[in-house]
Structure 1
Amino acid sequence: MENENMGEVMTEETPVIEEKPDIEIEPYAEKYVEFDTFAESDFRVVKVKNCEAVPKSKKLLRFTLDDGSGKERTILSGVHAFYEPEELVGKTLLAIVNLPPRSMMGIDSCGMLLSAIHNVKGEEKLNLIMLDDSIPAGAKLY
């Protein structure tokens, strides 16, 4: 397809990005990931049952999550600069759940919450990926 603004030919590999001069996004990765490697990642819908600041940490929030397994899952995430714990209780988020546990501040974090990050006029912005509340905890994303 031809880009009307520049007269250049676009390919499937060329992302079309609307230019917004005050917004900066991280460059696209140049290295391909094998499909089989990507397919090993287990992305699940999680519901926030509780969220609290981690003592002695300015960044970390401790999430107690319903991941649909019948057991509570704890994930720590460095999003406190962007969210207060009470505003996240009840939210439906996206997590990768098959990462090995990682100890932070003496607490095992069992997974990672996914978020989108960009800069506006040099200031970092972060948005947790929030999903429709009608999606049940434990639903797998493909």
Structure 2
Amino acid sequence: MTISYDDFQKVDIRVGTVIRAEPFPEARKPAIKLWLDLGELGERKSSAQITRHYDPAELVGKQVLCVINFAPRQIGPFMSEVLVLGLPDRDGEVVLIGPDHPVPNAGRMF
């Protein structure tokens, strides 16, 4: 399916820095709770199924891309406010997407 550039622009993808990460044992599938600094947009939370490749302590300081204009979603006792983006590895496990050089938080992907 082909979409227009205007359709693509509706998806607000920004960069944020992980400022806190914790295991999320209450989730149905193994996950990590993330708190992201999105610069002028403030702090947002996300639940991410990324336990195969990431340890919570190693995530602090990592910049990641996330969709910020989806409706928040309740994941057990946790409200996930943004969707952190990743790609599947050969086994279908998520590998996070982020810049390879530091960039300002809240920068929009285009």
Q: Same fold (TM over 0.5)?
A: yes
Shift of 1:114: 0.8
Shift of 1:108: 1.1
Tell me the number of residue pairs that the alignment of Structure 1 and Structure 2 aligns: 109
Shift of 1:80: 1.3
The question of whether the paired residues in 1 share the 8 Å contact of 2:49 and 2:94 is answered with no
Choose between structure 1 and 2 for higher RCO, CA contacts under 8 A separated by at least 6 residues.
Answer: 2
Shift of 1:56: 2.5
Is the deviation greater in 66-75 or in 106-115?
66-75
Please report the RMSD computed on the Cα atoms of aligned residues, expressed in angstroms. Answer: 1.6
Q: Find the residue that maps to 2:39 and give its secondary structure.
A: coil
> In structure 2, how many angstroms separate the alpha carbons of the residues matched to 1:55 and 1:125?
18
Q: Could you report, residue by residue, the CA deviation over 1:69-110 in whole angstroms, capped at 9, with x for unpaired residues?
A: 252110111111221111111001111101100110121111
Shift of 1:48: 0.5
- Residue in structure 2 matched with residue 132 of structure 1 by the alignment: 100
- Residue in structure 1 matched with residue 11 of structure 2 by the alignment: 41
Per the normalisation by structure 2, the TM-score is 0.88
The question of whether the paired residues in 2 share the 8 Å contact of 1:43 and 1:97 is answered with yes
What fraction of aligned residue pairs are identical, expressed as a percent? 28
Shift of 1:133: 4.6
- Residue in structure 1 matched with residue 24 of structure 2 by the alignment: 54
Q: Find the residue that maps to 1:69 and give its secondary structure.
A: helix
4+ runs of 1 displaced by more than 6 Å?
none
